[in-house]
């Protein structure tokens, strides 16, 4: 039997890696390069990341349906083309701001002291970054619907969580590589170059995708034995009954919301996606604020590197439900929900991050890494529940709906974090024995720790047991 399905999985992994590299450029250039040039506060940064999340949420709703309509290959090409373009145009924000405020260069903007001018620079530049982030979000919204659809096309249900965990590990690898390459690029050639160089990687990937990806039934690299293995679920479950795969039935976007399974997925994404994005967007700022580390400091780079190296453990999370399915003879949904319950306890480690922060920087790094690993393992299984219960023609759409929910959740967290950190710093907020911004971080870490258990309970109430949707 051939193994071309793993070639497809590798391509999805690299796409997701590029996706998260593009997403990380702003967070790794914010404190040392962009904040001083444009006079941003935490609220400006929170607004940018929050609106990115909100637009991503809206785009996910459209992207899922778009990928189902266009097909996996074309849908993914459009997605990565748009997000790579969006990543590159961030580099224009500084030049345009200079022209609009009437200053000759970036140095002049950094030296600006007039309150009115400073406010104008911050407003114009943050607005331009919001526009660029929205283009980035529009393209990035297509990544997971297309990748999830590709996994459903190339893997039977028993392997989908493992395959999803592999390609989803690209988000961790992207975040792991980012601190070692983005700040040095920004320091050597300017923050603009880091957006252009990293953004350009997506265009390279497009060439490989166009050449290598075909549906398994049309792919000469897939022999009969592998194709039979890929389609084994269809042979067992769908031959006796008519489903949308063989009747051509379609479900409208709004029709998807009548299923409790859809709402279960929405809850799972809404409660937890923002936690991962909070760690992704704010950990560089946390290290700067708490320990005074710049993005070019080797200690800073190794701290983030260790954090995301720990997150890599999550790849094993996709294999756990396979053990439950094979050894305990559970149905796929029961195996995944049990796995997700186990993973939901690990983010509680974040509760100890701030109490131990004063002892050593490495304690919060390790504990947040554990929470991040749990998130990625949780996410891989959450995505796979779609393939368990929904027909293949609905998978990208449902993924998009869930992504919208996750984006809305992230918007709320990002906006709240920016406002909370500015408020706690300016008022000297005292809470849990912490003062100022430290109190703000304690609040955020507390929510991040308990979000998964809350999400799991609601999901279990909505869909207590496996039930496949038949149309």
Given the structure tokens 């809470």, which residue do they identify?
431
- The 3-state DSSP class for residue 290 equals helix
pLDDT at 159: 82
Mean pLDDT to the nearest integer, 57-66:
80
B/e letters for 405-437, b = 16+ CB within 10 Å, e = fewer, are bbbbbbbebbbbbbbbbbbbbeeebeeeebebb
Confidence of residue 175 (pLDDT cuts 50, 70, 90): confident
Whether the pTM exceeds 0.85: the reply is: no
DSSP state of 104: S
170: tokens are: 């690209």
Q: Which residues of 275-296 are buried (b: 16+ CB within 10 A; e: fewer)?
A: bbbbbbbbbbbbbbbbeebebb
3-state secondary structure of 195: helix
Orientation angle between helical segments 437-462 and 332-345, nearest 10 degrees: 160
% of the chain residues with pLDDT over 70: 95
The reported pLDDT for the residue numbered 184 is: 92
**Domain boundary assignment for the chain:** 4-218+246-462
- The answer to whether 194 and 88 are in contact (CB under 8 A) is no
Fold observed for domain 4-218+246-462:
Growth Hormone; Chain: A; (1.20.1250)
Mean pLDDT of 284-294: 87
Q: What pLDDT is recorded for position 142?
A: 86
- Of the two residues 156 and 84, the one the predictor is more confident about is 84
Which residue in this structure is represented by tokens 């793993």? 6
Give the tens place of pLDDT for each residue, 194-234: 999 999 999 999 999 998 898 888 888 889 888 898 888 76
| Token output for 97 | 């701001």
């Amino acid at each position: 039997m051939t193994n071309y399905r793993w070639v497809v999985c590798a391509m999805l992994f690299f796409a997701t890696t590029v996706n998260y590299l593009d997403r990380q450029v702003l967070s790794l250039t914010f404190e040392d390069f962009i904040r001083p040039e444009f006079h941003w506060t935490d609220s400006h940064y929170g607004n940018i990341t929050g609106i990115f999340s909100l637009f991503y949420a809206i785009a996910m709703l459209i992207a899922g349906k778009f990928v189902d309509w266009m097909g996996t290959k074309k849908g993914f090409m459009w997605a990565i083309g748009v997000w790579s373009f969006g990543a590159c145009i961030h580099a224009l924000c500084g030049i345009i701001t200079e022209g609009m405020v009437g200053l000759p260069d970036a140095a002049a903007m950094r030296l600006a002291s007039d309150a009115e001018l400073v406010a104008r620079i911050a407003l114009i530049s943050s607005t331009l970054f919001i526009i660029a982030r929205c283009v980035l979000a529009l393209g990035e919204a297509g990544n997971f619907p297309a990748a999830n659809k590709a996994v459903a096309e190339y893997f039977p249900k028993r392997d989908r969580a493992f395959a999803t965990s592999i390609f989803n590990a690209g988000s961790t690898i992207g975040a792991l590589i980012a601190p070692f390459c983005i700040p040095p690029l920004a320091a050597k050639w300017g923050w603009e170059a880091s957006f252009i160089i990293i953004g350009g990687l997506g265009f390279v990937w497009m060439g490989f995708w166009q050449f290598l990806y075909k549906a398994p039934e049309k792919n000469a690299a897939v022999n009969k034995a592998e194709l039979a293995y890929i389609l084994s679920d269809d042979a067992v479950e769908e031959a006796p009954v008519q489903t949308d795969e063989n009747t051509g039935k379609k479900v409208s976007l709004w029709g998807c919301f009548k299923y409790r399974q859809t709402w279960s997925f929405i809850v799972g994404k809404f409660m937890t996606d923002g936690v991962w994005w909070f760690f992704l967007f704010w950990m560089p700022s946390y290290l700067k604020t708490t320990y005074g580390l710049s993005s070019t400091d080797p200690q800073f780079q190794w701290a983030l590197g260790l954090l995301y190296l720990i997150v890599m453990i999550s790849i094993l999370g996709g294999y756990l439900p396979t053990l439950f399915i094979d050894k305990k003879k559970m149905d796929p949904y029961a195996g995944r929900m049990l796995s997700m319950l186990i993973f939901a306890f690990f983010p509680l480690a974040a509760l100890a991050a701030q109490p131990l922060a004063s002892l050593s920087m490495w304690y919060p790094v390790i504990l947040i890494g554990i929470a991040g690993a749990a998130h990625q393992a949780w996410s891989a299984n959450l995505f796979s529940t779609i393939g368990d219960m929904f027909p293949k023609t609905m998978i990208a759409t449902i993924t998009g709906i869930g992504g919208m929910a996750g984006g809305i959740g992230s918007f709320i967290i990002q906006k709240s974090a920016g406002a909370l950190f500015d408020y706690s710093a300016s008022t000297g907020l005292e809470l849990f024995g912490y003062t100022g911004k430290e109190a703000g971080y304690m609040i955020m870490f507390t929510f991040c720790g308990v979000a998964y258990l809350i999400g799991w309970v609601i999901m279990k109430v909505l869909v207590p047991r496996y039930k496949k949707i038949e149309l």
